[in-house]
Amino acid sequence: MPRVTKVLRAGEPRPAVTDTLILDFAQRQTKQGFFFTGKGTCIEFDFAEPPALATDDAVVLDDGGLIDIVADAESLIEARIPDAAALARMAWRLGDRHVPVQVFANRLRLRRNAEVEALLVGVATKLTPLTAPFEPDGASVHADHAHDHHHGHTHDHADGHHHDHDHHHDHDHGHAHDKS
C-alpha cells in the first residue's frame, strides 16, 4: 500500500498528478490513517504532525505518485455580518474558542454547532445552513502545535555589533489538544 511521504503546497512546482483525494476538514488534519483515492487506491498517511492540507495541495507517495487534494463538501452554517468591525470581533471570539472559521468580506462559514450558532444569532443578519467545501483561515496554525518551543534569533547590526537572543514562548493555554 502506498504511503504518503511528502506534502507539496498549492503553487509549488510539481509533476502531473495521478489521482485525487477528496477529504473533509477533519480528514485534512489527520496525522495517521488510511484513505481511498478517487481511483479506489488505498493510501496511508503517516505524518509526524497534522498536515493541514488544503485544496490544490498534493501529497507525494513513496512510489512516486502524486495525489491532488480537494476539500469535500460539509454541512456548514454561513453567518452574514455586513458590519466589518462586528465580523472581525466575531471571528476573533470564535478563534479564541478554537473554532475553525472561513472568513469572507461580509460573512463567516463554520461547521454546524448549536452552541456556536447561538452566539451568531445576535450578530448575524442572516444564518444560512449550506453544504460546501470548508477551508478555514489559518487551518495550518489551528492544527496541533507544540506547547513549548524555542526561537533562536540572531541580529546583525550595521555597526558591527552582533548578539544572539534566545526567546522562550509557552503556548500552553490550559487546553487539551487532540493528537489525532
Over residues 79-105, the pLDDT tens digits come to 999 999 999 999 999 999 999 999 999
When pLDDT is averaged across residues 163-173 and rounded to a whole number, the result is 40
Over residues 33-89, the pLDDT tens digits come to 999 999 999 999 999 999 999 999 999 999 999 999 999 999 999 999 999 999 999
Residue 108 has pLDDT above 50, yes or no: yes
Q: Phi/psi of residue 171, each to 5°?
A: -95, 15
CA 107 distance to own-chain centroid:
19
**Top-confidence residue, 60 or 160:** 60
CA-to-CA distance for 66 and 15, rounded, in angstroms?
A: 8
Side chain identity at 18, as an amino acid letter?
T
When pLDDT is averaged across residues 26-34 and rounded to a whole number, the result is 96
Least confident of 37-46, 56-65, 120-129, 155-164: 155-164
Average pLDDT over the chain, rounded to whole? Answer: 82
92 CB-side CA count, 13 A: 6
